[in-house]
Chains A and B, each alone.
Chain A
Amino acid sequence: AQSVAQPEDQVNVAEGNPLTVKCTYSVSGNPYLFWYVQYPNRGLQFLLKYITGDNLVKGSYGFEAEFNKSQTSFHLKKPSALVSDSALYFCAVRDENYGQNFVFGPGTRLSVLP
């Protein structure tokens, strides 16, 4: 069975500082990993994904994520946080096996303080 954990309900960071939102996963096969962001009263927006290859993937709005197979982690990072990055962030996993649906983590609320 697939599962995703986001160990922090809330992350606070000062504007201009680097940010990290953590995600760990569990799948039976090779994972496809995704990050989404949700702003208030909006649907989820796709940020980036890991399929295979380079462990560091770059996405929208200056975000990047690092895949670590040994630690089964896929942490989201940004070198310099903006107040406008404040939102709810979801990590999701899909097993490479046929017919598996997406499984989303519980979400991490990021607050960037001016």
Chain B
Amino acid sequence: KAGVTQTPRYLIKTRGQQVTLSCSPISGHRSVSWYQQTPGQGLQFLFEYFSETQRNKGNFPGRFSGRQFSNSRSEMNVSTLELGDSALYLCASSLRRTGAYEQYFGPGTRLTVT
């Protein structure tokens, strides 16, 4: 079974631009979560999608948004990029959104904002 895939792997953007990151979960997984990882803040939860609906949201500004499609693929969008948005963005998928189901992570998208 193919793992979680994320595209692109690396991205360089300028302040003020917007960016869209894509995530394809493991086949059959319907829950997709997004995390931001930085050296200073560690892993921070952005949001979770299940059945095309946002189920949980972390403490991030409205510039961060996402969506999930009917095939469970997910995208996240960051508008009006700031230098502080430079981070590794990780997508994780899970078979179910509750219980003891582990999350499987993709390799991440490294976003650099200049």
| CB closest residue in chain B, given A105 | B42
Q: Does B99 contact A (CB under 8 A)?
A: yes
Q: How far is the CB of A3 from chain B (nearest CB, A)?
A: 13
Q: Does B108 contact A (CB under 8 A)?
A: yes
Q: Report whether A49 and B100 are in contact in the complex, using a CB–CB cutoff of 8 Å.
A: yes
Residue in A42, A90, A99 whose CB lies within 8 Å of B43: A90
Q: Report whether A102 and B55 are in contact in the complex, using a CB–CB cutoff of 8 Å.
A: no
Q: Report whether A106 and B45 are in contact in the complex, using a CB–CB cutoff of 8 Å.
A: no
Q: Report whether B56 and A46 are in contact in the complex, using a CB–CB cutoff of 8 Å.
A: no
Residue in B45, B48, B56, B99 whose CB lies within 8 Å of A32: B99
CA distance A42 to B3 in the complex (A): 13
Q: Does A89 contact B (CB under 8 A)?
A: no
B interface footprint on A86-114 (CB within 8 Å = 1, 0 otherwise):
00001000101011111111110000000
Q: Report whether A99 and B56 are in contact in the complex, using a CB–CB cutoff of 8 Å.
A: yes
Q: Report whether B102 and A43 are in contact in the complex, using a CB–CB cutoff of 8 Å.
A: no
Q: Report whether A102 and B33 are in contact in the complex, using a CB–CB cutoff of 8 Å.
A: yes
Chain B residues in the interface with A (C-beta under 8 A): 4, 6, 33, 35, 42-43, 45, 48, 55-56, 58, 90, 92, 97-100, 102-108, 110
